[in-house]
Amino acid sequence: MTKLAQSKKIFELALLILAAGSIYPLVYLRQNFEATILTLFDISQADLAGLYTMLGFMFVIGYIPSGWLADRFSVKLLIIFSLLVTAGVGVVYAQVPPKEFLLPIFLVWGFATVFTFWSALLKSVHLLADTSEEGRYFGALDGGRGLVEAVLASLAVGVFALVTGGGANLAFNETKAGFQAVVYMYCGAIVLIAVGLFFLMPNRGEKKEGAAEKTSAKDTFRAIGKILTIREVWVMIVIIFCGYTLFWAHYYFSGFLNVNHGATQLGAGVITVIVLWMRPVGGFSGGFLADKFGRSRVLSIAMAITAVLLISLAVIPGNGAMWLIYALIVAAGLLMYVVRGVYWAILDECRIPPAVVGVAIGMISFFGYLPDIVIPWISGAIYTGFGDNVAGANSMFFVVSAAIGLVGALAAWYFTVLMKRREVAEKVSPKTLIGDAI
């Protein structure tokens, strides 16, 4: 491949990274501005958790159908459509409508960011990369989108501080103006990226040269049945479910700092932005450590340490040293991104036949990302149970997340044991792939 052709591919990958890095932060604006959202819409943490429960339902039911959609329509147009719909709904969100409008807003966001976007994005990267490049391209996608999210979040905090003055006790109108400026900034960035994709991203073919023809519905269901018999797939599902649960805890850092330790909205925003900057660091460093010491082993250790850090945050009293609290949050965020950057890397160790890897990814995503439904439900139950004691609910949520994370650490360690057993068995007998029967 010529240098020019390679440069074009890298440029196209950069466009996809920008799309992936810009579309989700608007949906998860609570990560940096939770207190602002609660104040403006006059809702509780339990109400907000309920909205994210419904968003999670939209996500989970959309993973497998999104693959079907990406096989039948232009992935380029699907991505552009998703970006424009997300930004359009964001403009409505910026008007601070009555809280009854929040549920429709979140449901449309769920449709636009998974059903028409998720598989279209992954398929675009798959079509872009040669067989020998897929690991690097998907790694760049995750680390790069984290970098984009961190840059945009840094700008958002700066915009909020500029518009509001950054004071500790903001008036309602000041808070509203800052919120609107932040949402408009995100919407503007998303629209610009959509326009860039329209003019600069080529329409690629439906499949790579030499790829298998589309399978029939009967073949697909038969493949699903075979995949469900692979023990490593189920262990991987547990690992992703628990690892993603740990990752969910970082959405609560802002509220935890505000309520449990009296941090200002701006102060909490600064720390959560620093956590976002840990994503490229955690993703790339996690991949390096995984290649050197073993993927599942690194996952097990990182998940266990993250759980310990969350428990530490839960038990530190409200008058604890702020530098220590900030350090624990940043460290936990770094390790969460290590986990997120590595857990898909164990897919090839499950020995899924190449012809049905897409089906397997959809299935694993369906089960592994169930925390999008389960965690907001658990969170809502905790906050409802604790009533006015929001600080206690925050701490309990971290403890519950840590417990689930420890289960994931054990699952990752068991995966390591399975790999060792396989290695020993293959020294004395020929290797047998489950996919040979598919």
pLDDT band at 217 (very low <50, low <70, confident <90, very high): low
Q: Which residue has the higher pLDDT, 167 or 257?
A: 257
Per-residue pLDDT averaged across 404-424, rounded? 92
Lowest-confidence range among 15-19, 121-125, 427-431?
427-431
Q: Which residue shows structure tokens 């699952």?
A: 411
Specify the pTM. 0.74
pLDDT band at 190 (very low <50, low <70, confident <90, very high): very high
CA-nearest of 271, 256, 283 to 391 is 256
pLDDT above 80: residue 354: no
Lowest-confidence range among 36-45, 123-132, 375-384?
123-132
Instruction: Write the CA distances from 5 to 2, 9, 75, 128, integer angstroms.
Output: 5, 6, 21, 11
pLDDT of residue 373: 81
Per-residue pLDDT averaged across 14-36, rounded? 89
Distance CA 406, CA 12 (A): 39
Q: Which residue shows structure tokens 């790829």?
A: 211
pLDDT of residue 319: 78
pLDDT above 50: residue 210: no
Q: Which residue has the higher pLDDT, 82 or 250?
A: 82
Per-residue pLDDT averaged across 34-41, rounded? 88
pLDDT of residue 44: 86
Is the separation of the CB atoms in 259 and 314 below 8 Å?
no
Kindly list the structural domains of the chain, giving each domain's residue range(s) and its CATH number in brackets, ordered by start: 7-203 (1.20.1250.20), 217-431 (1.20.1250.20)
Structure tokens that stand for 131 in this block: 């067989």
Tens of pLDDT, residue by residue over 219-272, are 666 766 777 788 899 999 999 999 999 999 988 898 899 888 888 877 888 888
In terms of average pLDDT, the best of 157-166, 201-210, 294-303 is 294-303
Per-residue pLDDT averaged across 313-342, rounded? 89
Tens of pLDDT, residue by residue over 86-120, are 999 999 999 999 989 999 999 999 999 988 898 78
pLDDT band at 167 (very low <50, low <70, confident <90, very high): low
Instruction: Write the CA distances from 235 to 125, 229, 289, integer angstroms.
Output: 26, 12, 21
Percentage of the residues of the chain whose pLDDT score is greater than 70: 87
Q: Can you tell me whether residue 183 is helix, strand or coil?
A: helix
pLDDT band at 314 (very low <50, low <70, confident <90, very high): very high
Q: Give counts: helices (H), strands (E), the chain.
A: 17, 0
pLDDT of residue 31: 76
Q: Which residue shows structure tokens 């636009």?
A: 112
- Please state, rounded to an integer, the average pLDDT across all residues of the chain: 83
pLDDT above 50: residue 218: yes
pLDDT band at 408 (very low <50, low <70, confident <90, very high): very high
pLDDT above 80: residue 299: yes
pLDDT of residue 435: 47
Distance CA 361, CA 217 (A): 17
pLDDT band at 358 (very low <50, low <70, confident <90, very high): low
Distance CA 334, CA 276 (A): 9
pLDDT above 60: residue 433: no
Per-residue pLDDT averaged across 72-82, rounded? 88
pLDDT of residue 209: 43
pLDDT above 80: residue 434: no
